[in-house]
Amino acid sequence: MQIRVETVQLRESSSQLAEVLARLDRVRVADDLAGVGSAFRGGQVAAVNRRVCGGWTDGLSALRGRVRSTGSALDVAAMGYEVLEDVARRALRGTSVS
């Protein structure tokens, strides 16, 4: 097994994903489509508008969830590598790992 990693960069990457998440929070397509139904009274657009808005809300929410979990995964990876390094270092130096 060969491991080369810079955990600071993993944490930096995770923090960049947190910024992405903040940007995605401001992307509210459903809010902007909500008024479209009233611009087209009594037609098909008005009929499907609720479903369309729901689709965007769910889709973007799911996307944010994936960004969030990816950021968490990077944090977990960084922490895991650090723990592993710590355990290995202590073991080899004869220090207790508990």
Partner 1 sequence: MSDLIASRPDQLSAAARRLEDHRLALLDAAGAVLRARSVALGGQVVGPATSRWSGPAATGGAARLGALATEITRIAGAVGVAGQALSHAGLRLVAGLAALERASEVAARRGARVTDLGAVILPARPSSGDAVLDAHEAREDALMRSEVAAYVLTAQRVATETDLELARLLVATAGSVGPGGPPLGTGERGVLPTLLPPPPATEGSAGPEEVFTSAAWWASLTSQERGQAIAEHPEWVGPRDGVSVADRDAANRVLLDRAESAATARVAALEAGGEPLAGERGAGRAPVLGMGLAERASALELNRGRVDALRAVRRVLARTDGARRRLVLVDVAGRQPRAAVAIGEVDSAPHVTTFVGGFTTTVAADLERHDTDLARLRVEAGGLASGDVAVVTWLGYDAPQVEEVASPSRTVLSGGVAAQGGEQLAAFVTGLDAARRVPPDQSVLAHSYGSVVLSFALRRPTGIDRVALFGSPGTGGAVNAIVDTGLKPGGFNVLGSVDDPVVAGGSVVLAPRAASVLGSTRLSTYAPGGAGSDGGRRTSRGHSDYLKAGSDSARNLAAIAADRPDATIPESGAERLRKASRRGSSR
* Residue 78: both structure tokens together: 């960084």
- CA-to-CA distance for 55 and 49, rounded, in angstroms? 10
Q: Does 98 bind partner 1 (CB under 8 A)?
A: no
Cβ closer to partner 1: 47 or 83? 47
- The answer to the question of residue 70 lying near partner 1 (CB under 8 A) is yes
Contact criterion met (CB below 8 Å) for 71 and 21: yes
- Cβ nearer to partner 1, comparing 51 with 93: 51
Contact set for partner 1, span 5-64 (CB under 8 A): 5-6, 8-10, 12-14, 16-17, 19-20, 23-24, 26-29, 32-33, 35-36, 38-45, 47-49, 51-56, 58-60, 62-63
Rounded-to-integer distance, Cα 98 and Cα 83, Å: 12
Q: Are 81 and 10 in contact (CB under 8 A)?
A: yes
Residue 85 interacting with partner 1 (CB under 8 A): no
Size of the site for partner 1 (CB under 8 A): 54
Report how far residue 30's alpha carbon sits from residue 58's, in angstroms, rounded to the nearest whole number: 10
